[in-house]
Amino acid sequence: MNCLSFSELCCLFCCPPCPGRIAAKLAFLPPEPTYSLLPDPEAPPSTRPRGAGGPGEGRWKLQLSERAEFQYSQRELDTTDVFLTRSSRGNQVCCMYIRCAPNARYTVLFSHGNAVDLGQMSSFYLGLGSRINCNIFSYDYSGYGASSGKPSEKNLYADIDTAWHALRTRYGISPESVILYGQSIGTVPTVDLASRYECAAVILHSALTSGMRVAFPETSKTYCFDAFPNIEKVSRIPSPVLIIHGTEDEVIDFSHGLALYERCPSAVEPLWVEGAGHNDIELYSQYLERLRRFIGQELGQHT
């Protein structure tokens, strides 16, 4: 997340409409798209989509660029469904469903970090899903990848609502079979949705308490114009919550993870990864160990 200029600091405290724009500069770093969607040539004509500007309910094929750095074969890529659906705010939201595990009990609805898109995340999703025995459903925020519109806090909430309803209606997956997983900025829509809908579980990976607390670490209260107020919503999550944070996180300080854990009544034993930063928690062995124990053992005790 970027530092604020003096003019932006003045704007923050003098002009309440401006914090939203500052939050966008702090949080949203959409990369150049690393994938494109092509109409599936093998699909029946009646199911072929009419283009990215059309309804998007037809069948698409995912074409990855070299920058996606895909680590698997075409066979794994062919297990991936991609489609476009429209949010309540009028944006086309690109969604991806990966069948990683044939007999998976859970599907992870994954909200990714701020500087990646679905193309860059596809290899990670395949590896993660196969290792924790879950299918993975993900989506790109407005302004990311093949999703239209511009990134904003309001669009984040509309985007995950669209993904949640698409997962349920298109694939018939019930809430008790969905694990909401948010990473970094992805914890913002995840916490918001989890505070409104019950699901199997919630995982918050390198989560922030609020935008103001990231920009100004001495902030101790939530102002009415604060962006991304996870700290005010996390106490309303009824589902079990696993919080994961690196003790040396250089982007979102470890104190954010601790504060969210203390505020969340449904939190389970957290994972504090000693020495880990913001973008390398997945490289530590205890990451997968904790996820497997949470999903494979502890969730059964909550049902």
Catalytic residue among 192, 226, 249, 253: 249
Catalytic residue among 122, 138, 184, 239: 184
State yes or no: is 302 an active-site residue: no
Distance CA 187, CA 116 (A): 15
Element containing residue 134 per DSSP (H, E)? strand 134-139
Q: Tell me, what DSSP letter sits at residue 54?
A: S
Place of tokens 């062919």: 78
Backbone angles phi, psi at 125, to 5 degrees: -60, -45
State yes or no: is 280 an active-site residue: no
Enumerate the H helices of 54-117 as residue ranges: 74-77
State yes or no: is 253 an active-site residue: no
* Contacts of residue 133, Cβ cutoff 8 Å, sequence gap at least 6: 100, 101, 103, 104, 105, 295, 296
End-to-end CA distance of the chain: 38
Q: Count CA atoms closer than 13 A to 135's CA, side-chain side.
A: 19
- Nearest by Cα to 117 from 87, 93, 134: 93
Which residues form the catalytic set?
Answer: 184, 249, 278
